[in-house]
Amino acid sequence: MALTRDDVLHIARLARIALDEAEVERFRAQLSGILDHFQALAAVDTEGVEPTAHPLPLANVMREDAVQPSLPRDEVLANAPLAEDGYFRVRAVLE
């Protein structure tokens, strides 16, 4: 399944990755190859098979609504490149 250049640019944008022209072509070929690989699954007859939501045979894994201690704030902010007044500080991002 051959991806187009636009497909690759769209995927790169969603992942917030900047690609140069050579990379676009390289990933176009690689991603197309991966999709082709998975095309093998299309040969399986899935008639009457329920879609799988989760690979483990588990359901209803829940916890009681009880409050546990949170982290001390200096630990919360320890990895932040920038913090201010107890907040994380980031460049303004407009949607």
Partner 1 sequence: MTAIATEYEVVIGLEVHCQLKTASKMFCGCSADYSGAEPNTHVCPVCLGMPGVLPVINEKAIEDIVLTGLALNCSIAPFSKFDRKNYHYPDLMKGYQISQYDLPICRDGWLEVEVEGERRRVGITRVHMEEDTARLLHRVDPVTGEPYSLIDVNRSGTPLMEIVSEPDIRSAAEAREYLVRLRQVLRYIGVSNANMEEGDFRCDANISVRRRGDTAFGTKVEIKNMNSFRAVHDALVFEAKRQIGVLEAGGRIEQETRGWSDERQATLSQRSKEHAHDYRYFPEPDLPPLRLSAAFVERVRARLPELPAAKVERYRALGLSAYEAATLAEERPRAAYFEQLVAALSGDEARRAKLAANWMLGEVARWLNANQAEIDRFPLEPAALAGLIEQVASGAVTALVGKEVFDQMVASGESAQAIIERQGLAQISGQDELAGLVRKAIAANPKAVADYHAGKETAVKFLIGQVMRETRGRANAQVVQELLERELKK
Does 18 engage in binding with partner 1 (CB under 8 A)? no
Q: Is 22 in the site for partner 1 (CB under 8 A)?
A: no
Q: Is 70 in the site for partner 1 (CB under 8 A)?
A: yes
Q: How far is the CB of 17 from partner 1 (least distance, A)?
A: 11
Tell me the C-alpha distance between 53 and 45, whole Å: 18
Q: Does 48 bind partner 1 (CB under 8 A)?
A: no
Number of residues that bind partner 1 (CB under 8 A): 37
Residue closer to partner 1 (CB basis): 16 or 22: 16
If binding is defined by CB under 8 A, does position 94 make contact with partner 1? yes
Which residues, 6+ apart, have CB-to-CB distance to 11 below 8 Å? 31
Instruction: Assess 93 for contact with partner 1 (CB under 8 A).
Output: yes
CA dihedral (9, 14, 38, 47) positive or negative: negative
- The answer to whether the Cα torsion of 7, 39, 1, 33 is positive or negative is positive
DSSP codes joined into one string, 7-38 = HHHHHHHHTT----HHHHHHHHHHHHHHHHHH
Q: Which residues bind partner 1 (CB under 8 A)?
A: 10, 13-14, 16, 53-56, 58-71, 73, 76-77, 84-95
